[in-house]
Amino acid sequence: MRIKGNTPLQDGFYMPAEFSPQEGCILIWPHRKGSWPHEAREAEPIFAEMICKLLKTETVYLVVEDKTCDRAKALLEKTASEKELDNLRYVHIETDDAWARDTAPTFVTDGHVVRGVNWMFNAWGGEYDGLYSSWEKDDALAASFCKELGVDYYDAADFVLEGGSIHSDGEGTVIVTESCLLSPGRNPNLGKAQIEDKLKAFLGAEKIIWLPCGIYNDETNEHVDNVCAFYGPGKVLLAWTDDKCDPQYEMSQKDFEFLQNVTDAKGRHFEIKKVLIPKKPVTVSEKDLLGYEFEEGEDVREVGERLAASYVNFYVGNGIVLVPQFHDENDENALKVIGEAFPDREVFGVDAVSLIVGGGNIHCLTQQIPASDR
């Protein structure tokens, strides 16, 4: 049911941290031919692997369509045990693409009850610089999902926001990037202060931290979940490079200096762990390009195009952290640093090369549902 009148902040609801206890996780089975080369055949086994890992400790809500359901079931029944499959729920809703982080609901809680938030989605920029020209199904997903599960939700559908553009510590602090939230393709009629007010009202936040930059060449206008993530209150992991010739160097330097000079909602200075990006840039190959089928009005790719590969685009589940791996010499360093940040969880490396060609990565494909008393 859509909640009318009050906002989450007024009702005492807030967005908990991703590392808080979860009931489950939402994923969408991939199918868009302009995102997933070769009809997603290379990406599908990676989706199945991620889902099976998550099923060990939480429920997975897998959004499917008639054209994808049979394929998903066939792969998952081969990969998962019967016990794990007991934690899998298929949710039949049509979508334009598979980026659950940006199109599924953001969830808030009062510590007992969980509710959804439905933002407006316009394909990362609408007519200004959006990545595809028709996004009605993706925009409708959050409300449809809440209705399907019987979860009450707040309607923020007059405000454009994607879940990948926000990170919460669960204690009143939300991190965003200026490059994304101030993009002309999002909410051009709102100033920075007005955007802050919206975020505070619908996320139950006390303070918004505005990082200047994200990851170089990130087509989402530099979502925060690709560059910086909480691993505890007052503690963040920041994407980094020591290569002064890399365009990411200056961007990460700006973020680091900014974080050193601000405090969170509780007045804490940030502890910062640096996570090196892949040493060798991840790019679109000729094989990848031959596998895409772009629709009219859809953003197209080219051979050699640098993709926004970052290890910070990890997902924290109950007892596990899924970390992207890019066949790069910095893969092991990422597992080590992120493992040190989450010593109470299994850190599992996921071959993410076939995911990044879609334009995003593990965190972009997942959306957590906090634990509740229901």
pLDDT in tens, 49-76: 999 999 999 999 999 999 899 999 999 9
Could you tell me the pLDDT band of residue 131, with boundaries at 50, 70 and 90? very high
- The per-residue pLDDT for 5 is 83
Coil, strand, or helix at residue 287?
helix
**Class of the CATH-defined domain 2-370:** alpha beta
Look-up of token digits 């924290």: 316
pLDDT at res. 178:
98
Give the list of residues 6+ apart from residue 315 with CB closer than 8 angstroms, or none.
Answer: 18, 25, 50, 321, 322, 362, 363, 366, 368
- The pLDDT tens digits for 152-189 are 999 999 999 999 999 999 999 999 999 999 999 999 99
pLDDT at 336 over 70: yes
**Whole-number Å distance between alpha carbons of 283 and 305:** 5
pLDDT tens for residues 307-321?
999 999 999 999 999
Taking the C-alpha atoms of residue 180 and residue 223, their distance in angstroms, rounded to an integer, is 6
The arithmetic mean of pLDDT across residues 70-96, rounded, is 95
Distance (Å) of CA 10 to CA 147, 192, 283: 22, 21, 46
pLDDT higher than 90, residue 120: yes
The pLDDT of residue 373 is 76
Q: Please say whether the beta carbons of 36 and 65 come within 8 A.
A: no
Residue type, 50: M
Instruction: Reply yes or no on whether the pLDDT at 357 is more than 70.
Output: yes
* 372 pLDDT tier (thresholds 50, 70, 90): confident
Check: pTM over 0.95? Answer yes or no: yes
**Could you give the percent of the chain with pLDDT greater than 90?**
96
- What residue segments make up the domains of the chain, in order of their start? 2-370
Report the catalytic residues. Answer: 364
Q: Distance between CA 225 and CA 218 in Å, rounded?
A: 11
Q: What is the mean pLDDT of the chain?
A: 97
In the predicted model, is pLDDT for residue 298 greater than 70?
Answer: yes
Is residue 374 predicted with pLDDT exceeding 70? no
